[in-house]
Amino acid sequence: MSDTSLRATASETVSVDGTNTGPQFPTVDGHVLLVGGYGAGNLGDEAILRGLLSALPPTVTTLTVVSHDPEATVADHATEPPAGVDLRAVRPTPTRLLRHLLAVDAVVIGGGGIFSRYMGPYATKLPLFALAALALGRPVHWTAVGVYDSTPERVVRPLVAALRRSDSVTVRDPASLDTLTRWGVSDVRLVDDPATWLSASPAHGRAILADAGVDPDRPVLAIAARRVADPAATDRLFDAYRAVAETYADRGWQLVYLPFCRHPTEPVERDQRVCVALAARCSGTVLPVATASDLLDVVAACDALVATRLHAMLFAHVAETPFVAVSYATKVQSLLDALGHADRGVSLADVSGPTLLDGLDRVTTRPGRTAGQIGTEAEGDAL
């Protein structure tokens, strides 16, 4: 697999339908407050932040990121903004946010799938924060956000009010565009998820795998495992993961489990526990990669991926790694459709060992050569 690179310059974005839609980061000046789900252990969100930092306009002098772990955010992303930008971070407490709101020149909210049934208490307050910023005369921009029908009704009214008054709104998938259109929000543009603007190095990913004891010269199946909100569906997911892992192990593939999210408190966001349980049942290696860029490189170095995190799917798309995705929410199938991978999705209602195996076999098999033969051939080459 060859190294991939940025699909366009960092100063512009191309929407998922291929249309040039102008600047990826909003046109803002001076000291900017960036609000999102950063510093909470989700490497998908950290990939979004990395993409946004790469696209900062030269008019930004200071960027303060609202983060649940300010020290880690600054340490992990210090080298990513353009030269001359002062990168800071602040915890999302009411006192600190109000103080910064009075000091900054503009507010940018995003990106990522903030508004859905999975949103937490912090995200439910973002529309009110945006309305407060607008009342103080601060420009407010929403960038590459996801907004879905499952958003709690109590959040929809203040969210729509804030969006209608804001300076710009961009969304990252057609489902969000459709949702906002039906809610009466106009002047919304469709853009790519900022994580898709990152570059991947399969060579570096192979080095990470080798350091973890995985032979990069033998086929590797990665499983980005997670829980979902419905306990019964979580049980079915685990059984499906296990069936896939056991089948591919029998075919001679190595197994790697990738925890994309390691939230400190939310059970549904603690992927590490699912990955450890799978490794205990099926063998394989749990690989808790520290940064989004390293995780992208690992995905690029793998031969196939089961994605149950949106950014696992996006990483596979960027890296051109064969994958099958569990469509556990509207945003997943919406982005699969937009990126030309509609046939890669398995709905959460239909997920099982056979459905995931069928999807994997379709993307990993070349004409005249089965997925099982890939493992057998590689195993023979290593002897």
Q: Give the pLDDT mean for 25-33.
A: 96
pLDDT at site 266: 77
- Residue 337 clears pLDDT 50, i.e. is over it: yes
What is the average pLDDT score of the chain?
Answer: 89
- Is residue 149 very low, low, confident or very high in pLDDT (cuts 50, 70, 90)? very high
pLDDT at site 217: 86
- Is residue 24 very low, low, confident or very high in pLDDT (cuts 50, 70, 90)? confident
- Which of 377 and 218 is assigned the larger pLDDT? 218
Residue type, 54: S
The pair phi, psi for residue 286, each rounded to 5°, is -85, 125
Please tell me the total number of residues recorded for the chain in this structure: 383
Q: How far apart are CA 177 and CA 167, in angstroms?
A: 17
Give CA separation, 227 vs 224, 332, 348, in Å. Answer: 11, 15, 12
Beta strands 168-171 and 304-307: pairing type? unpaired
Give span(s): CATH 3.40.50.2000, the chain.
30-197, 202-382
Q: Tens digits of per-residue pLDDT, 156-181?
A: 999 999 999 999 999 999 999 999 99
Burial of 367 (0-12, 13-18, 19+ CB in 10 A): exposed
**Residue 41: which region, alpha, beta or left (left: phi > 0; alpha: psi -120 to 50)?**
left
- Is residue 342 very low, low, confident or very high in pLDDT (cuts 50, 70, 90)? very high
By C-alpha distance, which of 187, 153, 197 is closest to 55?
197
Q: Give the pLDDT mean for 49-63.
A: 95
Q: With a threshold of 0.75, does the pTM exceed it?
A: yes
State which fold the 202-382 domain adopts. Answer: Rossmann fold (3.40.50)
Q: How far apart are CA 361 and CA 72, in angstroms?
A: 39
By C-alpha distance, which of 340, 338, 343 is closest to 325?
343
pLDDT at site 64: 98
pLDDT at site 263: 83
The distance of Cα 378 from the centroid of its chain, to the nearest Å, equals 31
Q: How far apart are CA 206 and CA 175, in angstroms?
A: 35
State which fold the 30-197 domain adopts. Answer: Rossmann fold (3.40.50)
- Residue 283 clears pLDDT 50, i.e. is over it: yes
Q: What is the 3-state secondary structure (H, E, C) of the chain?
A: CCCCCCCCCCCCCECCCCCECCCCCCCCCEEEEEEEEECCCEHHHHHHHHHHHHCCCCCEEEEEEEECCHHHHHHHHCCCCCCCCEEEEECCCHHHHHHHHHHCCEEEEEEEEEECCCCCHHHHCHHHHHHHHHHCCCCEEEEEEEECCCCCHHHHHHHHHHHHHCCEEEECCHHHHHHHHHCCCCCEEECCCHHHHCCCCHHHHHHHHHHCCCCCCCCEEEEECCCCCCHHHHHHHHHHHHHHHHHHHHCCCEEEECCCEECCCCHHHEHHHHHHHHHHHHCCEECCCCCHHHHHHHHHHCCEEEECCHHHHHHHHHHCCCEEEEECCHHHHHHHHHCCCHHHEEEHHHCCHHHHHHHHHHHHCECCECHHHHHHHHHHHHC
Q: Tens digits of per-residue pLDDT, 94-116?
A: 999 999 999 999 999 998 999 99
The pair phi, psi for residue 67, each rounded to 5°, is -140, 145
- Which of 365 and 315 is assigned the larger pLDDT? 315
Residue type, 259: P
Q: Give the pLDDT mean for 290-294.
A: 95
- Residue 21 clears pLDDT 50, i.e. is over it: no
pLDDT at site 292: 96
Q: Give the pLDDT mean for 57-71.
A: 97
pLDDT at site 347: 96
pLDDT at site 216: 79
Q: How far apart are CA 317 and CA 348, in angstroms?
A: 20
pLDDT at site 382: 34
